Structure 1
């Protein structure tokens, strides 16, 4: 199976927080998942922890390399830039990632994240969806210490909602 491609300074284990969630489900494909993930305006329809999504510079509605966007999640107003965008293709997983940030650089309120997704078809009519996020800064330390882990639980809700939304769109045989 494929893995997330990490930028320098965001490698898991060297940041203040890391969350990893994955599902493998039968009866769906990467092509079923991708439109729901790559268009941020779709997120609030299946993931209640996302809101107020907008693009900058006439970008959107689909993410693209370098596109700037904004959304709210976990109580944070997140500014973001898409840093990887590769739609799934035959034998190639879909990859999308963004650098997100909150707060002014150099302050204790600053939070920087790298949130990445990998969507790949597996044999047997299955799809694997992996989402991982590394976080840097004082807010990341607090998120890491919190029990239950809000990032793990929130991202699992995102995955579960994504799968349910894709199933609702796939015609039944």
Structure 2
């Protein structure tokens, strides 16, 4: 199966926290999931842990490589920049990823993340949605030590929500 492409400094195992969640579901396609994922304004409609998304520089409504945007999640005001956005196509997964940050550089409150997604069609009219995130900084260390890990649970809610929203849009 396809895998996330990690930028230098954000490889899992070398950061303070790592979360990986995946679903494979029948009856949906990457094309049906993709618009819900790359349109941040949709996120709060199916994922309760996301709020107040907005773009900078008159960009949007869909993410594109290089776009700066903002949203709130896990109690953090997240500034972000999309650094990968490739729509799914025949035989190729959709890929979207962003670097997100909160807090002042060098402060104890600073959090840096790389959040990446793969959306790919599989045999048998199934879709695979993989989301992985690495995090750096003291807040990431605290998240890692919390049980249950809020990132694992939160990202599972995001996956469950996007699947439900896609099914609802399809009329299932």
TM-score bracket relative to the smaller structure = over 0.9
Q: Output the CA distance in 1 between the equivalents of 2:121 and 2:108.
A: 41
Q: Deviations over 1:6-40 (max 9, x none)?
A: 00000000000000000000000000100100100
Q: Deviations over 1:92-149 (max 9, x none)?
A: 0000000000001011110000000000000000000000000000000000000111
Q: Output the CA distance in 2 between the equivalents of 1:135 and 1:69.
A: 18
- 4+ runs deviating over 3 angstroms: none
Q: Secondary structure at the match of 1:106?
A: coil
What is the Cα deviation at residue 87 of structure 1? 0.3
**RMSD of the TM alignment (CA)?**
0.6
Match of 2:91 in 1: 91
Equivalences, count: 172
Q: Output the CA distance in 1 between the equivalents of 2:25 and 2:52.
A: 29
Match of 1:167 in 2: 167
Match of 2:10 in 1: 10
Match of 2:139 in 1: 139
Match of 1:61 in 2: 61
Unaligned runs of 5+ in 1: none
Q: Secondary structure at the match of 1:25?
A: strand
Q: Secondary structure at the match of 1:124?
A: coil
Unaligned runs of 5+ in 2: none
